[in-house]
Amino acid sequence: MRINKAMVAELQQLGRDNQGESLTTAVVEKAKDTSSALNAWSGWKWDRREAAEAWWRHQARHLIGIYVEVVQEPNKAPIEIPGFISVKTNGDREDRSSLEVLAEDPNIIVNIVCDRCQSHLDKWPLLAQLDPIRKAILQVRTAANPPPKRRRGRPGKGEARVSV
């Protein structure tokens, strides 16, 4: 769903011309015109049934996103956590119960937060003042995911000691 130069020009013009009107509305109205470069963008769903299905999926993602679970630990204030989190499994993303995922790997939240922060920081590489945040994210991720400890002593079955 890339945009070409003609689409960029139309978007910029709409942005300049937009006086109090919703830019979103202006873009949709312009894109309805078949002679508009915006009409050719592959992200549009001009078939009404297909557009309705896409909208319902968007609404479902929103509903999933606002659902929370309340977690109460002994002697601590209750906290709200997302009811579902999106995790990557075998290259695909799937929404899973946050409580189940946390039970499997308590550090997953640290990794998810670090991933999201890093992806936002990566979008703004020219902001050098964010480097301390990048370093802090790396430290948090490293602390939550220490490398496996090396065993000392004699090699176990199937292992070999290598001298350099």
For residue range 84-139, what is the model confidence (pLDDT) as tens digits?
888 777 778 788 888 888 888 877 777 777 777 777 777 776 766 777 877 887 78
Strands (E), 4-163: 68-71, 79-82, 84-89, 92-97
pLDDT value at residue 106: 74
pLDDT value at residue 94: 82
pLDDT value at residue 115: 76
pLDDT at residue 164 is higher than 70: no
* Structure token pair of residue 96: 């899973």
pLDDT at residue 160 is higher than 50: no
Average pLDDT, the chain: 81
* Cα(33)–Cα(96) distance, integer angstroms: 41
* Cα(146)–Cα(99) distance, integer angstroms: 23
pLDDT value at residue 57: 92
pLDDT value at residue 163: 42
Lowest mean pLDDT of 21-25, 72-76, 97-101, 145-149, name the range.
145-149
**CA proximity to 95, closest of 123, 118, 63:** 63
pLDDT value at residue 161: 47
Say if pTM beats, i.e. exceeds, 0.75: no
- CA torsion, ordered 12, 13, 16, 22, to nearest 10 deg: -90
* Cα(4)–Cα(27) distance, integer angstroms: 15
User: For 37-161, where are the alpha helices, taking DSSP H only?
Assistant: 48-66, 98-104, 108-122, 131-144
Residues 36-58: tens digit of each pLDDT: 999 988 888 889 999 999 999 99
Domain spans, the chain: 5-44
